[in-house]
Amino acid sequence: MAFLVLIMMIKEYIKKINPKYLKIALLALGGVFVVIFITFVVIYNKREELLAKAIQSAKHKALQEYDINLTIRKAYFSGLSEVTLEEVSARPKDRAELLNIQYLQVAVKLWPLIGGNVKISAVNLHDGKLSFVKKDSLSNYDFLFRRKEVDTTKAPAKMNLAELANKLINSVLYKIPENMKLKDFLTTYHDDSTSQQVNIPEAIIIDGDLSSTIEINGKEAVWHALGELKPDKKQLYLKLFADGKAVELPIIRKKYGLTLRFDTLETDLKNVTMNGDELQMSGGWAAKNLIIHHWRISENNIVIPEGRIAADVLIGENYIGLDESSEVSIKKLRAHPYGKITFKPYKTISLGVRMPQIAAQDLFDSFPQGMFDNLEGIRVSGKLKYDLDLYVDIDHPDSVRLSAAMQKDGFRINSWGKTNLAKISTPFTYTPYENGQAMRSFVVGPSNPNFTPINEVSQDLKNAILTAEDPSFFSHKGFVEEAFKASIPANLKAKAFKRGGSTISMQLVKNAYLGREKTLARKIEEILMVWLIENNNVVSKSRMFEVYLNIIEWGRNVYGIGEASRYYFGKHPSQLNLGESIYLASIVPKPKSGLYPFQYDGHLKSYLSGYFRLIGRLMARRGMVADDSNNYGFYNVVLREGLRPARPDTVEVDTVKVYDFEKEIEDTKGFLERLFGGGKKDKEQDK
């Protein structure tokens, strides 16, 4: 009924139009249709010629830009907008064949094509093979990583990241067909040490609904992929799972030592829009029974029964960001990571995380199994909340901004789990490890003749260690924000990880509970354990410092200040003078090089005098010692005679050790100067 009313209204409107104008309009419209018809006829009659030119152009570009010989035995139009290719081959020069397809039929959408956009509507492919081959250092896919030569005579084009990302996403989405039939497509990888086969016997897309079977190494494993693909709406959903076992690609473990497997993995792209000059994307990932293992991450398998990530990505003209609305969830834990990388006018990085208040037990129960094994089984009560915010200007690294805080509400430790963090409050047995091997075990307590109570350690030694390692130890709660802030620019300037801002509390936990494993999980566990000890009065500060001095390494198989003072100077720790104390503080970061700074007569080499002046002045500034123009005991340090090196004319100089130890001292000096500052007076006295 409504349609009839609309027709009647149109007729009434036409009656009111001047017949002269109506005639002109009809003639113009007819002319447009005639032009379109003629254009269509011309293109239709010449389409085979245009196809041949397009194929020739593709062959030329492949050869010129990528050194790939592209051959197509037969190409023809099999429909109005449908092209069929037979026996397609791509082979890089002097390399193994990369691609071979026996039959490929592609249909494109007409209306987008008129506007210059190639949108694929259907694909029919069978008997295809994609082969990645690497022999020695040569591969048939290295062209993918080859940089294009830049024409330096032309002004560099202005780069807009949002526009670039939008074009890239569109180019990918436009290639996803609404309908597809793929049969027998094999992908292989082979190098000198490993090989992998991934075969797709069949994959079908019908009106955007995907179903596929994937066979790994014959039928060693069978995967299934399901999905809903809506490229026109910029929406994608994919789900991957396997028959009877977890999904894992063995080649990743063989080549990179990374174990990555899961029962199901889901990913989706929900929205992509250009909002002014900013590209906004939202999507996410979800996994069940995800298992991760790599020697850099953790010694054990990390198991996440169920995890989900929802990400809102923002891309502007010169920045890439992650909005705070993004969320990571594992069991009951919810955290909101955010960040932004800006490339112009300055290179800056900002990142952070917001963890809303959560029941403390829920937080500990949400930690992935195998990640923090010392904390497994711990029972706590109360609530916790965490915030982290970091900003770094890469071009001006000293302008670092950092804030981090764990806020507690009624938090209490009810019982320990696998490891009792209070064990160091009383005598305990300590076993140092080196390269995974136990060195020896000894009691940290009065029954050990080398154990030295804190009140029997030279005050100069205690002050020197505190000044060099952690000046605010007795006032902080496990962490020194300024030390972390100072370490970031130091590492950026060195373009390597040189300083971590560790406190004595962190060093103690690492030595007493965690050993020497350098993994991401161990570092995070170390931070959590320090927070538990320091913020819940588990162990007194005095006892922590006492244990630290009695277990840290001071030389090859030398542990604790009792052994160290007798080993180097034949003294009890209470008898150490200022110079000996500063020297012992200098070797804490690199204890195995402890004997190198000495000359054959037992005195120290001159390069170490700068370190003595730095530590001595810092101690004097805090009222620990008097000002000393004689290098704060440098000339009073004399090594025990039995340890002195041979004369220089009887032994070769180990230049590797010279460089390593002196560089360590200079790095330590530089870090301390950045952390505590150095006045004009200090600089003048160095001259």
Distance of CA 373 to CAs 369, 416, 417, 530, 538, Å? 8, 12, 9, 15, 19
Q: Quote the distance between the C-alpha of residue 472 and its chain's center.
A: 31
Q: Please indicate, yes or no, whether the overall pTM of this predicted structure exceeds 0.85.
A: no
d(CA 386, CA 405): 6
Q: Which residues of 76-85 are buried (b: 16+ CB within 10 A; e: fewer)?
A: eeeeeeebbb
Work out the widest C-alpha separation in the chain, in whole angstroms: 121
Q: What is the pLDDT of residues 49-100, one digit of tens each?
A: 767 887 888 888 888 888 899 999 988 887 777 889 899 999 998 889 999 9
* pLDDT at residue number 227: 94
Q: Which residues of 130-165 are buried (b: 16+ CB within 10 A; e: fewer)?
A: bbbbbeeeebbbebeeeeeeeeeeeeeeeebbbeeb
d(CA 406, CA 531): 9
The string of DSSP codes covering 6-41 is: HHHHHHHHHHTS-HHHHHHHHHHHHHHHHHHHHHHH
Question: H or E segment at 256?
Answer: helix 250-256
Question: 301, 259 in Cβ contact below 8 A?
Answer: yes
Q: Quote the distance between the C-alpha of residue 682 and its chain's center.
A: 40
Q: What is the pLDDT of residues 7-40, one digit of tens each?
A: 555 455 545 555 654 455 455 555 445 444 444 4
Question: 81, 110 in Cβ contact below 8 A?
Answer: yes
| H-only helix segments in 402-458 | none
Residues of the chain with pLDDT under 50: 3, 5-6, 10, 14, 21-22, 25, 31-32, 34-44, 650-660, 674-675, 678-687
Of 227, 253, 255, 259, residue with least CA distance to 241: 227
* pLDDT at residue number 94: 86
Of 453, 455, 394, 426, residue with least CA distance to 538: 426
Q: Quote the distance between the C-alpha of residue 112 and its chain's center.
A: 40
Distance of CA 5 to CAs 13, 14, 16, 17, Å? 12, 14, 17, 19
